[in-house]
Amino acid sequence: MRRIVVALGFFALSCGGEKGETPATSTTKVAAPPPAPVHEVRMELVGKAYRFTPADITIKAGDVVRFINVSGGPHNVAFDKGKIPAGAAVVLNASMKGRIMDLAGPYLKDANATYEVSFAGAPAGTYTYVCTPHKPMGMVARVVVSP
């Protein structure tokens, strides 16, 4: 008789336990979305010219731009508030870690140091940016965000 009780107890636990309980559901994991595409922009001194390479890129909303300090630093990325789409400043400021001021990332001093800006939630349009120390030398570029 005892064997039957133990067997029935085990059966009750494996089928959901007490009356009214639902059986355990599947623990299928939902796949994480793929990472956003990353586009690289080099910050460099070539001869006597300071520049972003490429100077113009087109990305999709949600993509990431990785800026790499190649040579001639320190460099940073500072978006021109008057030359970005309406509503973009809030999105950029939230994405730009370690900002030194509104819409301006930190200075990259070490060779191959990187800085990433995500355009997740960014409105479509043209975003003009500069390297603050080298703006007078023409270090200006653009990101075009397509929907």
Is residue 88 situated within a structural domain? yes
Report if residue 3 sits inside a domain.
no
| Domain-embedded: residue 1 | no
Instruction: List C-alpha distances in Å: 127 to 16, 45, 86.
Output: 57, 22, 11
The domain of 140 spans 38-146
**Beta-sheet pairing, 140-146 with 49-53:** unpaired
Residue 79, pLDDT score: 98
**Is residue 24 included in any domain, yes or no?**
no
Residue 51 above 80 pLDDT? yes
Angle (nearest 5°) at CA 89 between 144 and 64 = 45
pLDDT digits (tens, 9 = 90+) for 2-27: 444 444 444 444 444 455 555 555 56
Give CA–CA dist 68/116, Å, rounded: 9
Residue 83: which CATH number?
A: 2.60.40.420
The domain tally of the chain equals 1
- Say if 52 falls within a structural domain: yes
Distance separating alpha carbons of residues 135 and 129, to the nearest angstrom: 9
Q: What is the pTM of this model?
A: 0.77
- List pLDDT tens digits, range 78-133: 999 999 999 999 999 999 999 999 999 999 999 999 999 999 999 999 999 999 99
Predicted pLDDT of residue 147: 87
* Structural domain includes residue 126: yes
